[in-house]
Amino acid sequence: MTPDYTTLLLAIGLSGFCLSATLFASWMSARVERFLLSWSLGIGCIVPAVIVYSLYIEAPGFRLGCLAFMLQFLGFAFIYGAAYRFRTGLRGRRRVFLVFTASSAVALPWLAAGYDGIAFILLNLLIAAALAATASEYWRGRAEAPLPLTGIVILYLLTALSFILCAAALIHDGRAVLGHAPQNWAETLNLVVAIVGITGIGAMSLALNQWRVAASHQRAANTDALTGLLNRRALFDRYGEQAMSDQTAAIAFDLDAFKSVNDRYGHAAGDAVLKVFAGVVRDACGHAACMARLDGEEFVVVLDRTLPDRAHRIAERIRADFAAKLIPAGGRSITCTVSAGIAFGSAEGASFDCLLSNADNALYLSKRNGRNCVSLAA
C-alpha cells in the first residue's frame, strides 16, 4: 500500500474516534436521543476496524481479516440501528444483530476457505447494502427535518456507492484469491468519500440532535403536562392575533361539579378524570381540531372551516361519551359529566377573545339549564 493510502486510513481512524467521542459526550449530557449512542457505538467499532485492517495490510492473515470484517459489520449494523431508532424511537437490537450475523455468515466462510477476493467483494456489497438501508430509514423520516435529513441520505448513498465501486473493481480484476488487501483506485476513492461522509453525517447528526432537543423544549412549553393537550399559552399563540370567521367554531367545556370529585376522592382521582376527558376529546376530534386545556377543569376545542351542525355533533359526542365513562377513583368507579357551549366567529372577523367569550356565555347557559348539555351562543 502507498503512504497516501496509509495516511487516509489514519485520517479515518482519527476522525472516527473524535466523532465517536463527541457523539457519546452529546448523549451523556442529556441522555434523551439514544440514536446518538448507537451512532457512537457504530463509529466506535469502525475505529478499531481501521486499526486491525492496517495490521492486515502489513501482514495478511485469516484471523486479522476475520476480525477486521466482523468489526466493520458490527459498526455498520450499529449505524443502521441508529437510523432505525431515530425514525421509530424503538431500540432495534434485533435488527442490529440480524445485520451483523447475516453479513458475517455470508462473507466470512469465503475468507476462511481462502477465497479472500470473493470475501472482499461480499464485504463491500454488504456494507453498501447496510448503508443503503440506513439511508432508507432517514429518508422515511425526512418529514421531521427535510433539509438536513436529505443531506444525510445523500452522504450515506454516496458512501454506499464508493463501496459498490470497490466491489466492481475487484469483480473486474476477476481474482478469487488475492493473498493481500485490495489495491486499486476504488479503495483510495472509498477512503476519501468515507472521510467526507463521516465528517458531514456526524455534523448533521449533532445538528439534528440539537434540533430535537429544542423542539422537545418547545413542546413542553406549549403542552399541558397532565393531559397532553395544548395549554392556554399555545392556544393564544396560535389564534390570538387571527380574525375568527363565521366558519370557525369554539367549543368551551367545563367539567360539572369537578371540585366535589377532588374533595371526595382526592386529587389523584381528579387528575384521572381530566385525563379521561382529554382522551374523549382526542377520540372525537382526531387531528381536525385544536384542543387545549385552559385552566383546571376548563377546556376548549377550536374547529376551522366547520358548520354549526358538525360542531354540535362533536360537542354532543364528547358530552355523551364522557358521561358513559367509568373512571377508577379510590378503589371504585365513578362517572362525571361535562357542559359545553358553542360559538362561531363573524363574517367581519371577530377577535379570538370575543369568540371565547361567546363560547363561555353559551357554556354558562348550559350550566343554568341543568348541566350535562350543549348550548349554542346566539
For 159-168, write each residue's pLDDT tens digit.
Answer: 999 999 999 9
**The model's pTM:** 0.67
In the structure grid, which three cell numbers stand for residue 89, read together? 424511537
Q: Which domains does the chain show, CATH number per domain?
A: 3-222 (1.20.1070), 232-376 (3.30.70.270)
The residues of the chain scoring below 70 in pLDDT are 1-10, 21-33, 216
For 15-25, write each residue's pLDDT tens digit.
Answer: 777 777 666 66
DSSP string, 221-282: HHB-TTT-SB-HHHHHHHHTTSEE-TT-EEEEEEETTHHHHHHHH-HHHHHHHHHHHHHHHH
In the structure grid, which three cell numbers stand for residue 31, read together? 441522555
For 186-218, write each residue's pLDDT tens digit.
Answer: 988 988 888 888 778 777 777 777 777 777 677
- CA separation for the pair 332, 303 (Å, rounded): 36
- CA separation for the pair 162, 367 (Å, rounded): 71
Conformation bin of residue 8: beta by default, left when phi > 0, alpha when psi is -120 to 50 = alpha
